[in-house]
Amino acid sequence: MRHESDYIPSKGLKNLALIVSVTLLSVPLVIFKCMDVVSKSRSSDNISEEVSLHKQLAYQVDVFLSVNPYAKPLALLVATLLVIFLGGLALFGVTDDSLADCLWLSWTYVADSGNHANSDGVGPRLVSVSISFGGMLIFAMMLGLVSDAISEKFDSLRKGRSEVVEQNHTLILGWSDKLGSLLNQLAIANESLGGGIVVVMAERDKEEMEMDIAKMEFDFKGTSVICRSGSPLILVDLKKVSVSKARAIIVLADDGNADQSDARALRTVLSLTGVKEGLRGHIVVELSDLDNEVLVKLVGGDLVETVVAHDVIGRLMIQCARQPGLAQIWEDILGFENCEFYIKRWQKLDGMVFEDVLISFPDAIPCGVKVASSGGNIILNPEDTYVLQEGDEVLVIAEDDDTYSPAALPMVWRGNLPKDFIVPNSSEKILFCGWRRDMEDMIMVLDAFLATGSELWMFNDVAEKERKRKLIDGGLDTDRLENITLVHREGNAVIRRHLESLPLESFDSILILADESVEDSAVQADSRSLATLLLIRDIQAKRLPLREAMVTQTRRGGFSQGSWIGEMQQASDKSVIISEILDPRTKNLLSMSKISDYVLSNELVSMALAMVAEDRQINYVLEELFAEEGNGLQIRQADLYLREGEELSFYEIMLRARQRREIVIGTRLANSERAIINPPSKSERRRWSAKDVFVVIAEE
């Protein structure tokens, strides 16, 4: 039988443990005191250039905590183990328990500070309270670390720093006024798939982006929009949005200086091409200046498709001024809400000539062929005798990619055209209100379109010498213009007395441009355009020779013709005004008043970007249709294809138009305000009116 004293360690060992614990606690104090003495001795020896030991130690600790991400938890662990070990040694020196029991007891005091209440004796209580104080300090440190970690994680999620784990998503880089229209078009495009994923990354706060998107007044139709804060120039931020797995990447132009915007787009393309994992999708870049397109394509190579927004809208405004109603047709074709372009291969059409292919789709209208033998080049409006080869694909205008298919070839009577199409050769008088960056390009396009002897009046607040300098810098030699003569007038387009100095009643068409000085703000630019429009229409109405005879009690479009808006509507019958609108909300005012046609520039550009993002092949089609040469959209009078009261099917009209190598894609009836693209029941005969018009794709 063992004696009870065998279980109790020797008193000398306990005293040694107590001395060791006290010594270890005193060592840091001694070290710091020695450091003070050494530092003072150095300063007394005039060695002021040397860094003190205190600062060196503080610097090393700071580097350790900054560089090592696990430094704080590691320091907390070391402090906890040190308190447990020193407390266990101290308890071992003042109690009769074994060292293992004392270490465990020390841990319980650290974990739960209230356990020391059961201690007996002055020594054990003093040591227990000291350990409990250390435990409370460690618990406070741990609570702070956990709280900071959780707050940092939530802050990271709130600010959009977390990684996007998606595939086959559409990635939008940048933020501009076009984003709302672009998201709307992508949502409509993804509706048939049950929705999609769109990721937006811009150098803005994530919460602000989400709030702005939530204010957009349209249905996302199941499409989810994910926002992230970051720069497209930083590879780490690009990887954060899974750029290598995106099916399409859209680079938006900044709402600012054109050269700076295009320079940033170029740097973004460079960053995208530098992604090590490679890109699965293509890049769609919105540019502001046509001159920068070559450089961006040189850097991006085959990955890049460009949409030069500013130049496209300038050319489109000229087309719409010469053919009223064309802007609405472009809205229908470019948007995903109605009919749009699709390219698909149909094996059953191999060996068929294009004239027969044209009438083989009851629910679509063929417009061209993607030729397999030429590397996939798209021929828009090919010859009737072109035979589809194996691998060729057909370009059509249809409601959706699953709503059309070829049917049995119908029997269609061709007939003869009632008369030849004669290109108008009369001179025109056109007025430009405002100044755009691509003015020289618009003038060159007009010079190619108009007849000899035409006049182009330029009215803006840019000095005449400055205008000529800008035109020359843009590559335009005004002395070499063949068909038009430039007439310069200086003034402010929103001041009535300045506008009254112009012969506004004598112009065939007036283009109100989003002036370069205010194009950065859509609201300000639209307000200026609306003010100019109302002033011009009011001046025109007051100069009409029979203004007094127009007072009547009838109603037109909800307004009395004797009212001021009625007078403006009468003036709109005398000349065409095309207003460039940046904000989609402004179009409701113009649509209701019916005193001007408009080109919704930002929305049309967004539509084009969305279409090219969904199918990059469509970019070639849009480039040709927008260009001043080649095939383009035209509006033709019905008497060019039929005689008054003649009963024809839409198929028969299509075949008649092929005699002039035109493709009829839609019609606008005399009693309708909007054109119908890809009309239904194409084989059904009906009686047409000479006042009807047809929309065709034809050579300029």
Most confident of 110-124, 482-496, 570-584, 636-650: 482-496
Q: Does residue 586 sit in the same domain as residue 652?
A: no
In a domain, 501, yes or no: yes
* CA pair distance 361, 680, nearest whole angstrom: 11
**What is the rounded CA–CA span in Å between residue 282 and residue 306?**
11
- Does the pLDDT of residue 597 top 80, yes or no? no
pLDDT above 70 covers what percent of the chain?
82
Contacts of 605 (CB under 8 A, 6+ apart): 178, 286, 307, 309, 312, 313
Residue ranges of the alpha helices (H) in 277-379? 293-300, 309-322, 326-334, 354-357
Classify strands 509-512 and 429-433 as parallel, antiparallel or unpaired.
Answer: parallel
Least confident of 163-172, 418-427, 604-613: 418-427
Residues 149 and 244 in one domain: no
Instruction: Work out the pLDDT band at 247, boundaries 50, 70, 90.
Output: very high
Same domain, 246 and 278: yes
pLDDT of residue 392: 92
On whether residue 39 sits in a domain, the answer given is no
Quick one: 535 and 675 in the same domain? Answer: no
- The rounded radius of gyration (Å) of the Cα atoms in the chain is 39
Cβ contacts of 262 within 8 Å, gap of 6 or more: 253, 287, 288, 289, 292, 296
State the pLDDT at residue 52.
62
- The single residue listed with the structure tokens 């618009």 is 442
Query: Does residue 580 fall inside a structural domain?
Result: yes
Which of residues 159, 192, 224 is at a domain's end?
159
Among 7-11, 556-560, 561-565, whose mean pLDDT is lowest? 556-560
**Measured between alpha carbons, how far is 696 from 631 in angstroms, rounded to an integer?**
10
Q: Express each pLDDT in 336-357 by its tens digit.
A: 888 889 999 999 999 999 999 9
Q: 490-496 long-range contacts, Cβ below 8 Å, gap at least 24?
A: 490/459, 490/460, 490/461, 490/462, 490/463, 490/464, 491/459, 491/460, 491/461, 492/461, 493/433, 493/434, 493/459, 493/460, 493/461, 493/528, 493/532, 493/535, 494/528, 494/531, 494/532, 494/535, 496/535, 496/539
With H, G, I as helix, E, B as strand and everything else as coil, classify residue 370. Answer: strand
**Average pLDDT of the chain, as a whole number:** 81
Statement to judge: residues 453 and 578 lie in one domain: yes
The pLDDT of residue 54: 62
pLDDT tier at 547 (50, 70, 90 boundaries)?
A: very low
Closest to 176 measured CA to CA, from 228, 124, 264, 251:
251
Interatomic CA distance for residues 285 and 263, integer angstroms: 12
Question: Is 60 exceeded by the pLDDT of residue 552?
Answer: no
What is the mean pLDDT of the segment spanning 304-331? 83
With CA atoms as reference, report the closest residue to 103 among 129, 82, 79.
82
- Euclidean distance between CA atoms 303 and 288, whole angstroms: 19
Q: Is residue 164 part of a domain?
A: no
**With 90 as the cut, is the pLDDT of residue 665 above it?**
yes
Checking 41-49 for CB contacts under 8 A at 24+ apart, the result is: none
Amino acid making up residue 591: S
In this structure, is residue 532 part of a structural domain?
A: yes
d(CA 231, CA 395): 38
Tokens in use for 652? 């028969």
On the 0-12 / 13-18 / 19+ scale of CB atoms within 10 A, 293 is middle
Residue of 161, 244, 167 whose CA lies nearest to 201: 161
Q: What is the pLDDT of residue 572?
A: 53
Q: Which two tokens stand for residue 174?
A: 């940048």
385 burial type by CB count under 10 A (0-12 exposed, 13-18 middle, 19+ buried): exposed
Give 427 or 3, the one with higher predicted confidence: 427
Query: What is residue 696's DSSP assignment?
Result: E
593 and 676 in a single domain? The answer is no
pLDDT at 561 over 60: no
The Cα-based distances of 307 to 201, 252, 265, 611 in angstroms read 20, 10, 12, 11
Instruction: Let me know if residue 335 belongs to a domain.
Output: no
Q: 613, 186 in Cβ contact below 8 A? A: yes
pLDDT recorded at residue 533: 86
**Residue bearing tokens 């190598």:** 661
Does residue 46 surpass a pLDDT of 70? no
On whether residue 561 sits in a domain, the answer given is: no
* Region for residue 105 given its phi and psi (left: phi exceeds 0; alpha: psi -120 to 50; beta: otherwise): alpha
Model confidence at 100, pLDDT cuts 50, 70, 90, reads confident
**Looking at residue 577, what is its pLDDT?**
84
Q: Which residues contact 526 (CB under 8 A, 6 or more apart)?
A: 514, 581, 582, 583, 586
Domain co-membership, 181 together with 134: no
CATH code for the domain of 93: 1.10.287
Q: Are residues 473 and 579 in the same domain?
A: yes
Cα–Cα distance, 412 to 400 (Å, whole number): 26
DSSP string of 40-95, one letter each residue:
HHHHHTT-TTSPPHHHHHHHHHHHHHHH-TTHHHHHHHHHHHHHHHHHHHHHHHHS
Cβ(418)–Cβ(643) under 8 Å?
A: yes
pLDDT of residue 35: 59
Do 682 and 573 belong to one domain? no
Question: 147 burial class (0-12, 13-18, 19+ CB within 10 angstroms)?
Answer: exposed
Q: For the chain, how many structural domains are there in total?
A: 4
Whether 621 and 341 have beta carbons less than 8 Å apart is answered as yes
pLDDT band with cut points at 50, 70 and 90 for residue 4: very low
Of 134, 159, 184, the one marking the end of a domain is 159
Q: How confident is the model at residue 290 (pLDDT cuts 50, 70, 90)?
A: confident
Question: Taking 90 as the threshold, does the pLDDT of residue 370 lie above it?
Answer: yes
Regarding predicted confidence, which is higher, 414 or 530? 530
Residue 37: what pLDDT?
Answer: 62
| pLDDT bracket for residue 1 (50, 70, 90) | very low
Closest CA to 421 of 644, 640, 634, 661: 640
Per the structure, the complete domain to which residue 140 belongs is given by 11-31+55-159
Lowest mean pLDDT among 233-242, 318-327, 633-642: 318-327
pLDDT at 304 over 90: yes
Q: Report percent pLDDT > 90 for the chain.
A: 23
pLDDT of 250: 95
* Shared-domain flag, residues 176 and 218: yes
Residue ending a domain, among 159, 184, 207, is: 159
Region 652-673: mean pLDDT is: 89
The CATH number that applies at residue 645 is 3.30.70
pLDDT grade for 559, boundaries at 50, 70 and 90: very low
Instruction: Name the residue with tokens 């298919």.
Output: 405
Give the pLDDT score at 258. 77
Q: Poorest-confidence range of 79-83, 173-177, 453-457? A: 79-83
Q: Kindly state whether residues 576 and 464 are assigned to the same domain.
A: yes
Write down the pLDDT at residue 171.
95
In 219-279, where do the E strands start and end? 224-229, 248-251
What are the helix (H) ranges across 365-415? Answer: none
Kindly provide the b/e burial profile for residues 445-457, where b requires at least 16 CB atoms within 10 angstroms of the residue's own CB: bbbebbeeebbbb
Pick from 533-547, 551-565, 573-587: least confident: 551-565
What is the distance between the alpha carbons of residues 310 and 608, in angstroms, rounded to a whole number?
12
Q: Which of 45-54, 369-378, 391-400, 514-523 is the least confident region?
A: 45-54
Span 382-397, mean pLDDT? 92
Is the pLDDT at 334 greater than 80, yes or no?
yes
Q: How far is CA 670 from CA 563, 674, 688, 695, in A?
A: 26, 10, 9, 13
Question: Is 38 a member of any domain?
Answer: no
Which pLDDT score is estimated for 565? 53
Average pLDDT, integer, range 430-446: 87
Q: What is this structure's pTM? A: 0.75
CATH number at residue 435: 3.40.50.720
Assigned token pair, 620: 């070639």
Better pLDDT: 151 or 554: 151
Q: Are residues 594 and 684 in the same domain?
A: no
